[in-house]
Chains A and B, each alone.
Chain A
Amino acid sequence: MNTTIIPSKNQRSEIIPEKKKKSQLVSIWKRLRKNKLAVAGLVILTFIILSAAFANALFDYNTVVIQQNAADRLQPPSAKHWLGTDELGRDILARIVHGARVSIPIAFTTILIATIVGGLIGAISGYGSKRVDNIIMRIMDIFLAIPGILLSIAIVAALGPSLRNLLIAISIANIPPFARIVRASVLSIRNEEFIEAARAIGANDLRIIFKHIIPNSMAPVIVQATLCIAGSILEIAALSFIGLGIQPPAPEWGAMLSGGRQYIRYAWWICAFPGIAIMLTILSLNLLGDGLRDALDPKLKN
């Protein structure tokens, strides 16, 4: 009766095994693995995060990291101090490892806050009426007009330097770019035909937003988040460098750079190694972000 089915088709379907149910994450990981640079970034990042996680096992905070030791001042790298010591005789490697414990969690938290808040604002703006969109985006434009770092400085200066205020400042400075990206991506997706198809099969707004729009607009957000974590680490370092971030004697990469600045002529290692730590972290995040950009596109073949 049905002329459309080729007779052999049903037999063939039994021969070719059904594809296993595989989640999106698995296929994303498969694609990411092919990108050598992204894997390199992931390896460096994992190494940094692991060393930060086990920092206390590697170096004791009270006796090594903040304990001053006048006898060991400004030692160049040696077998005892692999990366040398700073002007107060503290081991730089130990301080860099413990510094990662400060920078990385703050960076991830700030970007998480910025992604959620910015994403929500952007989604409302993109899915809402034109009026709502206009109001929200003009407010975001005002924020965008001020350079992020300047905004952070202003917020920290107003609230006073502390860990919590640093978090708030960097989160706020990062919200507008996220709002923009999410809005743009929601705007392009809400006019896709599959959204209309979803409406035709009776999906309500909530379902459309959470099942259809968000999964399809996540890719640019995740990429932006990885890149922004790098920026956030840099901002923390910059704020600490000018004394508005983490306060001494707590180790922080930017603060270490700032402390070693006066000795750079005869003790280059004080500045060089924290700088390299910042650079490596940012590089790894950028490589990973670039890799994710390709891996998150489901249309690219495995």
Chain B
Amino acid sequence: MSDNILEVKNLIKHFKSKNGTLHAVDDVSFSIKRGQTLGLVGESGCGKSTIGRLILGLHQATSGEILFNGQDICKMNKKQIHDLRKDLQIIFQDPFASLNPRMSIGEIIGEPLLIYKKVKRAELDSEVRRLMDVVGLSKRFINSYPHELDGGRRQRVGIARALSLNPQFIVCDEPVSSLDVSIQAQVLNLLKDLQAEYGLTYLFITHDLSVVKYFSDKIAVMYLGQLVEIAESDELFKKTVHPYTQALLSAIPAPNIRQKMQRVKLIGELTSPIDPEPGCRFAKRCLYSQAQCVGQDLEFKDFGNSHFCSCCRADELLNTTISQ
């Protein structure tokens, strides 16, 4: 078995819409090593969540490969995907919408166990209690309903449900973005502890770079369905190549109030993902864009240390930023 638990190769997902084809995910490739965390960053609507759902087999990919332990998820039939779910789970963004309001916490956490008949009915209750303990959820909530819990506890329920089948890989789809900052830290710590304990691999989808810096081994930055930069976490923060990543990084609030920050301010809005023109999709908002940026398709350039970036002016930009 290879070192990579998950390999995504040239993944494409297009949605047909009235006005044309929506390029939700366009030619995205990355891989995740077992036991590590890949942070997938980008603004709203750039296709982060779609990638998560494609990996889970909740959407059918237009083309490309998703290799999980060497098997292609895109080519699996229903039965195989059903078996796959035991190893591949997801934690959803909104812990309220993702829990059935008419099921008690115990029923929600126990449902996957029932579906896969992992435990006997008599042992279900004790297994649910064990899972609640694992995620730090007080057992007195076992018969409560989701609306009776606060956001942090609801998200713990979602985590317990994802953990119940003992998966190897969990897609965390913005698991903390709808929580208070104080609760965010709790949930993040919990996820880290669980990773250490069970050797989990995470795909951590978020738009919050400060979260991802704390959490990930590797970071992938997306813009409008395309990967623009991917690197080891430290490397990305040290040597930021793509102008979009630079803008994102400069938007992280500084904890030190005296520290003078130069913010790269982006102008304009996300361009439409429907039938995008070839070339750099960020060009219209980029501070450094030139005529060469549009028209031709981009290629991923290697900057060493498994640092890749799609900017066609990356070399020049890198030199200028370093000289500054």
Q: Residues on A close to B: CB < 8 A?
A: 1-5, 9-10, 12-13, 16-22, 24, 192-194, 196-203, 207, 211-212, 215-216, 298-299
Instruction: Name the residue on A nearest B152 (C-beta).
Output: A4
* Residue among A12, A19, A197, A198 with most chain B CB within 10 A: A197
B85 touches A201 (CB 8 A): yes
A201 touches B92 (CB 8 A): no
Query: Cα distance A196–B158 when bound, in Å?
Result: 13
Residue in A13, A201, A203, A299 whose beta carbon sits within 8 Å of that of B139 in the complex:
A13
11 residue pairs A–B, Cβ–Cβ below 8 Å: A4-B186, A13-B139, A19-B141, A19-B144, A198-B100, A201-B111, A203-B115, A207-B115, A212-B100, A215-B100, A298-B101
Q: Answer yes or no: B165 CB below 8 A from chain A CBs.
A: yes
List residues of chain A with CB within 8 A of the CB of B161: 197, 201
Residue in B56, B98, B116, B143 whose beta carbon sits within 8 Å of that of A193 in the complex:
B98
Instruction: Name the residue on A nearest B106 (C-beta).
Output: A21
Query: Cα distance A202–B79 when bound, in Å?
Result: 10
List residues of chain A with CB within 8 A of the CB of B94: 193
User: How would residues 257 to 287 of chain B score, 1 for a CB under 8 Å from any chain A CB and 0 otherwise?
Assistant: 0000000000000000000000000000000
B187 touches A200 (CB 8 A): no
Query: Cα distance A10–B190 when bound, in Å?
Result: 16
List residues of chain A with CB within 8 A of the CB of B45: none
Query: Cα distance A299–B164 when bound, in Å?
Result: 26
Q: Name B65-114 residues within 8 Å CB distance of A.
A: 82, 85-86, 89-90, 92-94, 97-104, 111-112
A-B contacts besides A4-B186, A197-B92, A299-B147, 8 pairs, CB < 8 Å: A2-B189, A4-B136, A13-B140, A24-B102, A194-B99, A197-B158, A202-B116, A211-B103
Interchain nearest-CB distance for A14 vs B (Å): 9
* Residue among B58, B85, B138, B147 with most chain A CB within 10 A: B138
Interchain nearest-CB distance for B177 vs A (Å): 14
Instruction: Name the residue on A nearest B135 (C-beta).
Output: A4
Instruction: Name the residue on B nearest A27 (C-beta).
Output: B145
Residue in B85, B103, B138 whose beta carbon sits within 8 Å of that of A13 in the complex:
B138
Interchain nearest-CB distance for B74 vs A (Å): 17
A200 touches B136 (CB 8 A): no
Given known pairs A3-B189, A298-B101, A299-B101, the reply for A201 and B143 (CB within 8 Å) is no
Given known pairs A5-B136, A17-B140, the reply for A197 and B115 (CB within 8 Å) is no
A2 touches B85 (CB 8 A): no
A19 touches B193 (CB 8 A): no
Instruction: Name the residue on B nearest A214 (C-beta).
Output: B102
B97 touches A298 (CB 8 A): no
Query: Cα distance A243–B189 when bound, in Å?
Result: 75
Q: Name B172-222 residues within 8 Å CB distance of A.
A: 186-187, 189-190, 193
A197 touches B143 (CB 8 A): no
Residue in A2, A194, A197, A212 whose beta carbon sits within 8 Å of that of B136 in the complex:
A2
Residue in A9, A20, A22 whose beta carbon sits within 8 Å of that of B138 in the complex:
A9
Residue in B98, B116, B139, B193 whose beta carbon sits within 8 Å of that of A197 in the complex:
B98
Query: Cα distance A215–B144 when bound, in Å?
Result: 17
Given known pairs A198-B111, A202-B115, A298-B101, the reply for A19 and B140 (CB within 8 Å) is yes
A21 touches B143 (CB 8 A): yes
Interchain nearest-CB distance for A228 vs B (Å): 23
Instruction: Name the residue on B nearest A212 (C-beta).
Output: B100
B102 touches A192 (CB 8 A): no
| Interface size counted on chain B using CB atoms at 8 A | 42
A18 touches B140 (CB 8 A): yes
Query: Cα distance A128–B144 when bound, in Å?
Result: 33
Instruction: Name the residue on B nearest A302 (C-beta).
Output: B148
Interchain nearest-CB distance for A103 vs B (Å): 33
Interchain nearest-CB distance for B93 vs A (Å): 8
Interchain nearest-CB distance for B82 vs A (Å): 5
List residues of chain B with CB within 8 A of the CB of A203: 111, 115
Instruction: Name the residue on A nearest B187 (C-beta).
Output: A4
Interchain nearest-CB distance for B200 vs A (Å): 15
Interchain nearest-CB distance for B72 vs A (Å): 19
Q: Answer yes or no: B142 CB below 8 A from chain A CBs.
A: yes
List residues of chain A with CB within 8 A of the CB of B139: 13, 18
B147 touches A298 (CB 8 A): yes
List residues of chain A with CB within 8 A of the CB of B98: 193-194, 196-197
B102 touches A216 (CB 8 A): yes
Given known pairs A194-B100, A203-B111, A207-B115, the reply for A18 and B142 (CB within 8 Å) is yes
* Residue among B85, B103, B142, B147 with most chain A CB within 10 A: B103
List residues of chain A with CB within 8 A of the CB of B164: 201
Instruction: Name the residue on B nearest A21 (C-beta).
Output: B143
Query: Cα distance A193–B96 when bound, in Å?
Result: 9
Instruction: Name the residue on A nearest B156 (C-beta).
Output: A4
Query: Cα distance A212–B107 when bound, in Å?
Result: 12
B190 touches A4 (CB 8 A): yes
